[in-house]
Amino acid sequence: LILCGNQWPSWTLDDLLTHIEPNHGFTRESVGFTKFLNVMLALDGLERKSVVQFITGCSSLP
């Protein structure tokens, strides 16, 4: 019985573009936003888990 989400979150560029909406002067074409996406894609499993923990307060996705 598994009662928790994926222990090693994974995402694709399409996932990030679908779920992250740039604002405060940033657009999908902004250099800063593009670099952010590249960093998010380059993270390994443990780093991704840490990002999810930082953003949501939970280390795994549902």
Query: What tens digit of pLDDT does each residue of 46-58 get?
Result: 999 899 889 888 8
Instruction: Give the containing element (helix H, strand E) for 39.
Output: helix 31-42
DSSP single-letter state for residue 11: -
The pLDDT of residue 1 is above 50: no
Position 17, amino acid: L
Quote the pTM value. 0.78
